[in-house]
């Protein structure tokens, strides 16, 4: 996972270590935590600090290979009807470089979709 402050391993709920707190019998996850702790001092330090919590809002930094750096605000919505399912909504600040980059990606995706639809019609 990557955040605005760089790589991080902090996740979960206060005073617990999710996802292990949600499913302590998950052997694959336990093995992963063990492997990370064995090879990373930073992970061991963060894991031992118990500084885990959910972030319902914030800003994330992304790097897209075509448009470069994006800074997007996010909101988190946990679905009560389906525990464990979460929706994240991302948005760029109006007038920002990130907004322009998202518009470019949107137009690029629309152009690719149109080209594929045209090819499919031509083949039939």
**Element counts in the chain: helices (H) and strands (E):** 3, 5
Q: Is 17 helix (H, G, I), strand (E, B) or coil?
A: coil
Strands 57-64 and 2-3: unpaired
How much is the pLDDT for 110?
A: 79
How much is the pLDDT for 97?
A: 97
Q: How far is CA 3 from the centre of its chain?
A: 8
**Each residue's pLDDT expressed in tens, for the chain with a length of 124 residues:** 333 333 333 333 333 344 555 666 788 888 888 898 899 898 888 888 876 677 789 999 999 998 999 999 999 998 889 888 999 999 999 999 999 999 999 888 878 766 676 777 677 6
8 Å CB contact between 93 and 100 = no
Strands 57-64 and 68-78: antiparallel
The domain limits of the chain are 1-54, 55-124
Q: Cβ contacts of residue 65 below 8 Å, gap of 6+?
A: none
**Strand (E) or helix (H) holding 64:** strand 57-64
How much is the pLDDT for 55?
A: 79
How much is the pLDDT for 118?
A: 72
How much is the pLDDT for 77?
A: 92
For 48, half-sphere exposure in the C-beta direction (CA atoms, 13 angstrom radius) is 8
């Amino acid at each position: 996972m990557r955040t605005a402050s760089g790589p991080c391993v902090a996740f979960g709920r206060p005073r617990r270590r999710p996802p292990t707190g949600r499913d302590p019998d998950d052997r694959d996850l336990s093995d992963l935590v063990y492997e990370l702790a064995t090879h990373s001092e930073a992970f061991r330090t963060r894991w031992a600090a118990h500084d885990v919590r959910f972030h319902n809002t914030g800003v994330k930094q992304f790097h897209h290979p075509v448009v470069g750096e994006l800074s997007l605000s996010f909101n988190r919505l946990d679905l009560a009807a389906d525990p464990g399912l979460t929706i994240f909504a991302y948005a760029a600040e109006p007038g920002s470089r990130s907004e322009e980059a998202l518009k470019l990606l949107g137009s690029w995706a629309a152009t690719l979709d149109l080209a594929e639809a045209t090819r499919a019609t031509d083949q039939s």
